[in-house]
A and B are shown apart, each in its own frame.
Chain A
């Protein structure tokens, strides 16, 4: 379940913590596991638990507590837009509506082609760049005017066509594919 690349990344994280505190690496481990698999299935959480000597339910607690972990399959690109007050005062709501219209989905939905999942986010600590969004938890985009949103969606859509992004949601089977 855990690829060599994944265990290498987890092992690097483990060097940051005392040897008897392997659990400290669980957040990073789940993050990298998600990068590779797209979402945290039961099997994946179980594998991480075994790798870090943790009770599986403790991994489940962590995975479900932090909002950036995906507990179900997502589109190839998860776009999370902050709509908190400071962002909203600078047009986040309009940006979110623009995205919804453009992608044809509401928050927490995935486009039929499996390319995009749209999420509503909370403060990302970049209110000065509002509207702000996050692509697949790793890439932050700020000052998202409608034009920049269009550009981004175009870019990601093309990337998804090339099979880039995270293992995505298969619209026909409802399961994720690599």
Chain B
């Protein structure tokens, strides 16, 4: 695709990093994605300082203001007990991003390690790891996560555990494919001839070559973890009230459709906004670093 759209003609004499950053800056969609991700992360970190009403994040009740449509005071309206939806959305981003960090923080290193080992050692190690990964990939993720959280009792930590258990497989597969492709490269052979240890070849030679692919995958993953977590709580098996969660808000809000549409639609669009950001950023990074997933 890139040969048709991205003629890097004026870039002679630039380093590869300068070229990559040039390509990123020339891509308006990637910039929009970066901006969206920045705004979501910023809002989540500084939530208590930014939101119009911090008490709305908890089990706060203000019946006089319930079901208020979007207005200057409540840009996204209020919900069925009078809490400011914008405030809850921003605190909801906190929960969502916490989920992303928790899931990817465990699943990515684990998946990458297994992929490295399977690709590098080959033979029986490879067969066992990759067959196991194939079987794990055949599990329907949402059904599996639902079942796990239901049996463990639904809350943030268990949702995190359930998603993590299913997520590492994609990274194993990705890294395995990259390492398999790199094994015949001269630099691996050279390191081996020079007497480097397995650990050295794995982590100092092969791993750095996987970084860009993993970075792109993480950015794309982040959006999908948010979606996944929201889906779980939409079905009532994720984060429980009064913790503000975007999926739960859509579910409760949908009971007041169609007249009080904002209660479901506003949180719904907020999820969309975050996922859109991570996707655009991920696509931009992919074009920039020229990796194939």
> Is A bound to B?
no
